[in-house]
Amino acid sequence: MSSTPESSVSTQEQVPADLQKLAAALQTMPDQYVAELAPLVDAVIESTKRRRRILTLVQDALGQLRLDMKYLMFDLEATRRERDEYRLKLEEHES
């Protein structure tokens, strides 16, 4: 799969600037240190991306939950109004 400029931009936005600086600084080090530290830095970067994705999913789910709650509250209020109207009609009919 080839990387498009758009996907690399979104990847850069997902990684905090300090981690980007760390990865860039790592590339200037001698190869023996790069070999040792690169997997660790990559793991931290992947973990950060995963946390961001999870956070986005949770935020989306909360937004949907809020919207669902608004619809439910509207429906509950409408049901209560209908109940009260029917109750009044029943009382008028009985008296």
Angle at Cα 45 formed by Cα 41 and Cα 47, nearest 5°?
Answer: 115
Q: What is the 3-state secondary structure (H, E, C) of 71-93?
A: HHHHHHHHHHHHHHHHHHHHHHH
Q: Is the pLDDT of residue 2 over 50?
A: no
Q: How far from the centroid of its chain's Cα atoms is residue 55's Cα? A: 4
| pTM (predicted TM-score) | 0.66
Q: Is the pLDDT of residue 11 over 90?
A: no
Which tens digit of pLDDT belongs to each residue from 46-60?
999 999 999 999 999
For residue 88 the two structure tokens come to 């009044």
Which tens digit of pLDDT belongs to each residue from 57-70?
999 999 999 999 99
Q: Look up tokens 């001698």; give the residue.
A: 30
Q: Is the pLDDT of residue 78 over 50?
A: yes
